[in-house]
Structures are given as structure tokens and as C-alpha cells.
Amino acid sequence: MPDAVRHVYFLSDGTGITAETLGSTLLTQFPKSRFYRTTVPFISTVAKARSVVREIDQVALRGEAPLVFSTAVGEEIRNELATCNGVLVDLIGVHVQLLEEALHVKASHQPGQAHGLGNALRYQSRMMAVEYAMEHDDGQSLRALEKAEVILIAPSRCGKTPSTMYLALQHGVYAANFPLVDEDFGHDVLPEPLRPFQAKCFGLTSNPMRLSQVRTERRPGSDYASLRQCGIELRNAERLYVTHDIPHVNSASMSVEEISAVILERMGLRH
Amino acid sequence: MPDAVRHVYFLSDGTGITAETLGSTLLTQFPKSRFYRTTVPFISTVAKARSVVREIDQVALRGEAPLVFSTAVGEEIRNELATCNGVLVDLIGVHVQLLEEALHVKASHQPGQAHGLGNALRYQSRMMAVEYAMEHDDGQSLRALEKAEVILIAPSRCGKTPSTMYLALQHGVYAANFPLVDEDFGHDVLPEPLRPFQAKCFGLTSNPMRLSQVRTERRPGSDYASLRQCGIELRNAERLYVTHDIPHVNSASMSVEEISAVILERMGLRH
């Protein structure tokens, strides 16, 4: 029954983020299959592991064996999970020996600190980047733009805000953003607040149809959301990027993760 | 030379997020080793793969073989990467066969859409959650609190804002947050705006020392940042949580990823 919904478990002794991330990536290799996903984080005791195994075994009784992606590293917990009647995909264990050999040291087998505070300085700088991004969203504050590592510029609703947040939260990048409006176009110069920072600017564009759709959700029937107005703003924005040699990307069919990865790459911002 | 800095590459035909996430998780198993990390995303052509291989081989000439974590799925690109003089850790390939057998279908071997738009509805709801979180940060808007799935409450600087953002951006959870101030304490009732939504409230606490340290960065020498004031607010906040049976966690030594995972778990919010 390849068409039935298959139960999938993401198990972890930490937050579950790694198990979900790699597990989901693997599942995208099977685009026609349908999955029902459950994440169980913080499996820190054998008792909790046992209760998860019981749940998986119950599901297994009712259909095909669930897929079980695990990043648990503690030996007792791994042994317990290994008894389940699911298809166990051990995301960590399979690579540890290779790495031990390559690094000439033994693995710690300590439960995942992968998404803990880790390097305190790096963590703090991520949190400061989030704060900075909140304060500098949508051009609300033009103070301290010189602290920005990148300034996203674009017409309204091209994805500036979520991309800025993602860059800050995941990568600790100081990102500001600045909305381009009609008054910013048709001159030979960049909008005044951006002029000292041209080298930090990164532009977003979109497709008129897509932008009109997004704007319509916000203000249905408005001139702002009209295909005509969206087309004008996008053309003008693109002209501005080209004139001032500002790197840019069409975000219409990209996720914030993809937009951010492109920005990091093009602006040389990987820390 | 286990003490030398080891070069690590995260290679991907997509954003590189999965390679970085699992690769970094694996490296946390070797806490005493030091790593110099390079991410190369969007390896979409054999030519680009070849140029990465050349870089890795150059590094290999100067010291120990770099560790190379790859999530590339295209066969030609994988074959090219496999020729490098690094320790290749193929994060995808090793599990695909097991999953093919379990799912009774062949993997697509299409380059990673893991962090693309994916499910458009789900993606859109994440972006709407980010917008909601921005509008409802720090109690700035009490409109539409009924739309919140969770309302984080805490004294200033306990981690409400970045946790809210993380919940929205990564999990598409509608999260608002509300700062607890002196006036909110000492009554038998919750602050007025929260009263209709008690069941959605989740409290954060911290340690007085830690909170004082964080507040000092913002306003050095202020009463606001004093150990005494921090202690009072935290005691009062905790009393309020307990009195009103509001689930809460001490965020002092937790990352936003961990705080968010706890909130999802305790509030039953995994979508």
C-alpha cells in the first residue's frame, strides 16, 4: 500500500530540530508518499524512550511499520529505541565511527547540545541581531544603519521582513530593510538614507502576478494591489538595482531559507 | 594532531541548511576538536562541484583531510564530490536505500526541495505568523490576541521576542508576547488584556543574576538592571504563573530553539 499515509516519528534527546531537518529532507526524496509526522523531543530517560517505543508499536500494529528518525546519542536510550517495531533510521550513529577515525578521538555520546546555547558569544550576537532586525524593520529606524551588514531593499510585500528575521535569527546577521516606494524611483540617485551604504544593499524583486496576489490578501481591490501598480514598482525597482549595481534576486518562487542562502552567498556574509 | 583546527565543508545542491544542521550536530559529539567551517550551497552543476573538489583538495594538501558533509542528491554531482580528498560523509545516500525498501518506491534523486516553498499553504501560514508576531511583539498591539495560539508573558529581557519569532518563522505558530511590569503584580487577577486568554499564556522566568546581566547591557547602572529589581520581578512573575496555573520555564540557560521546543511540547502546538 504505497499510497497509504505512513506514520513518521522524529525522535531526539534534544530539541528534535536535527531529526526533523534531516528526516524531512530525506522524505522529500519520496514526493508521492504521504506522511503523518510526530516529533518527540527531550527523550532524556529510558522510561520516556520506553513510552515512545510503546506508542510506535501500537501504530505498527495497525498498519505498516512507522519510519523512525532518531538523533538520540545516549547508549541506553538508543538501545531502548532500537527495540521498536518501526523502520529505525539512526541519523547520528551511522556516521560517528567514521568521524572518530578521522578525528582520532572518541565521540562524547553526550545528548545533543546542537541547539543549546553553545558558543555563548555567538548566541548572544544572534539575539542582538534579532533585536536589531526588529528595530530596523521596514525603514522604521534609520539610526545605526551603519551597523547593518546587509540592507534589504524592495517594494512592499516582496519578502523583506521574513528574510531579515531569518538572517538575524539563524545566522546572526545584522540585517535592516528599507521599503522602496514611488517617490524613490525616477531619480539618478539612491534614496537618501541608503546612499552611504550602497555596498550593503541587496534588492528583492518578484513577479507582478505573484506580488499582486500577496498584496490583494492585505488590501483587496486597492490600487496598491493592482497588477498595473505592482508591475510599475517592480520594473522601477529592478531598474534602480541595475543602475546602482545592487545585487538582487527574484523572490517570487523562493522560500525565506532560499532567499537568505542566496544573500549570504552573494554578500559574502557567512560568519 | 587532534588539536589542530580541522577544515569542515558543508556541501549541498540546495540551501545547505540540512548539511549544516546535521553536520554541526555530529561535530558537537567532538567537543574538544576545533573546526573551521565552510558552507557551499547551490552546487547545481558538475562544474561547480568540480571547483569545490579542487578547493577541498588544496586544503587537504596543507594538512589533514577536511571533513566533508554532503546532502547532494544528483548522481553526477555526487560522483564528482566523491572524488575529493576529504573524509566524505554522505548524509542522504546512506539512508535512501533503507527508505526505498520501507516505502516500496524509488527515491526521486531530485535536488533538495527540503527548504524550498514546499507546501504553499504551510509556507504562507509561516509568513503570516511572522507578520503576526511582529505586530504583536511586546504588547504593542492587543488587537487580535484571540488569534494567538500562544502568548508568551515575562518580565522584560527574559527572551520573549526571539522565542516568539522562532515559533513563528520555524513553526508557523501564531505567537504574541506581553511584558509583565510592576503594575501587573500584587493583584489576584491576571493583567486585564490577558484575562480572556489565560489558557494560551506561557510564562518565562530567568535567574536574577542572568537577567541583571542582560539588562545591564541595555541600561548599565539603572535600577531596571539591578539585581534587586530583577529578583523582585522574577519572584512576582513566578508567583503569578503559579497562582494562575500558567505553564512556565526558566529560560536562563536555554536557547530560543530549546525554549520553543518546550513551548510546542507543553502547549501541544506542533502542527
Taking the domains of chain A in order of start, what are their residue ranges?
Answer: 5-103, 120-267
Average pLDDT over chain B, rounded to an integer: 92
What number of other Cβ atoms are within 10 A of residue A186's Cβ? 9
CA pair distance B58, B228, nearest whole angstrom: 57
Of all residues in chain A, the one with the smallest CA distance to B217 is A128
Q: Which residues does chain A have within 8 Å of residue B32's beta carbon, measured at their own beta carbons? A: 105
pLDDT for A259 equals 96
Query: Between A1 and B98, where is the model more confident?
Result: B98
pLDDT value at A1 more than 60: no
Interface test with chain B among A1, A24, A26, A267, by most B beta carbons within 10 Å: A26
Query: Between B270 and B176, where is the model more confident?
Result: B176
pLDDT for B271 equals 65
Question: Chain B: nearest CA to A255, how far in angstroms?
Answer: 5
pLDDT value at A2 more than 50: no
pLDDT for A205 equals 97
CA pair distance B24, A14, nearest whole angstrom: 14
Model ipTM value: 0.88
Q: What's the pLDDT band for A40 if we cut at 50, 70, 90?
A: very high
pLDDT for B144 equals 83
Q: Do A130 and B162 touch (CB under 8 A)?
A: yes
Q: Do A256 and B18 touch (CB under 8 A)?
A: no
pLDDT digits (tens, 9 = 90+) for B51-104: 999 999 999 999 999 999 999 988 899 999 999 999 999 998 889 999 999 999
Say if CB A145 and CB A193 are below 8 A apart: yes
The three three-digit cell numbers of residue B222, written as one number: 539603572
pLDDT value at A21 more than 80: yes
Per CATH, domain A5-103 is 3.40.50 = yes
Average pLDDT over residues B192-196: 93
End-to-end CA distance of chain B: 47
Q: What's the pLDDT band for A152 if we cut at 50, 70, 90?
A: very high
Rounded (10°) CA dihedral A204, A210, A215, A221:
150
B156 is in an annotated binding site: yes
pLDDT for A110 equals 80
pLDDT for A3 equals 55
Average pLDDT over residues A208-233: 95
B251 is in an annotated binding site: no
pLDDT digits (tens, 9 = 90+) for A45-73: 999 999 999 999 999 999 999 999 999 98
pLDDT for B116 equals 77
Partner residue facing B105 (CB), from A28, A33, A67 = A33
Q: What's the pLDDT band for A123 if we cut at 50, 70, 90?
A: confident
Q: Do A261 and B114 touch (CB under 8 A)?
A: no
Q: What's the pLDDT band for B122 if we cut at 50, 70, 90?
A: confident
Q: How many CB pairs under 8 A join A and B?
A: 208
- Pairing state between β A201-205 and A175-180: unpaired
Residue labelled with grid coordinates 494560551: B200
CA pair distance B237, B228, nearest whole angstrom: 14
Average pLDDT over residues B5-24: 93
pLDDT digits (tens, 9 = 90+) for B212-255: 999 998 899 999 999 999 999 999 999 999 999 999 999 999 99
Q: Which residues does chain B have within 8 Å of residue A6's beta carbon, measured at their own beta carbons? A: 103
B25 is in an annotated binding site: no
The three three-digit cell numbers of residue A223, written as one number: 490600487
Q: What burial letters (b/e) apply to A84-94, b meaning 16+ CB within 10 Å?
A: bebbbbbbbbe
CA pair distance B41, A15, nearest whole angstrom: 25
B161 is in an annotated binding site: yes
Partner residue facing A94 (CB), from B21, B94, B258 = B94
pLDDT for B48 equals 96
Q: What is the DSSP string of chain A?
A: -TTSEEEEEEE-SS-SHHHHHHHHHHHTT-TT-EEEEEEE----SHHHHHHHHHHHHHHHHHSSPPEEEE----HHHHHHHTTSSSEEEETTHHHHHHHHHHHTS--------TTSS-SHHHHHHHHHHHHHHHHTGGGS--TTGGG-SEEEEEETTSSHHHHHHHHHHHH---EEEEEE-GGGSSSSS--GGGGGGGGGEEEEE--HHHHHHHHHHHSTT-STTSHHHHHHHHHHHHHHHHHTT--EEE-TT--HHHHHHHHHHHHT---
Comparing B5-103 with B120-267, is the CATH topology the same? yes
Question: Chain B: nearest CA to A228, how far in angstroms?
Answer: 24
pLDDT for B120 equals 77
Q: Which residues does chain A have within 8 Å of residue B67's beta carbon, measured at their own beta carbons? A: 99, 102-103
Residue B169 three-state SS: helix
Q: Which residues does chain B have within 8 Å of residue A31's beta carbon, measured at their own beta carbons? A: 108, 110, 113
Q: Do B22 and A17 touch (CB under 8 A)?
A: no
Q: Which residues does chain B have within 8 Å of residue A254's beta carbon, measured at their own beta carbons? A: 116-117
Residue B157 three-state SS: coil
Query: May I ask the CATH architecture of the domain B120-267?
Result: 3-Layer(aba) Sandwich (3.40)
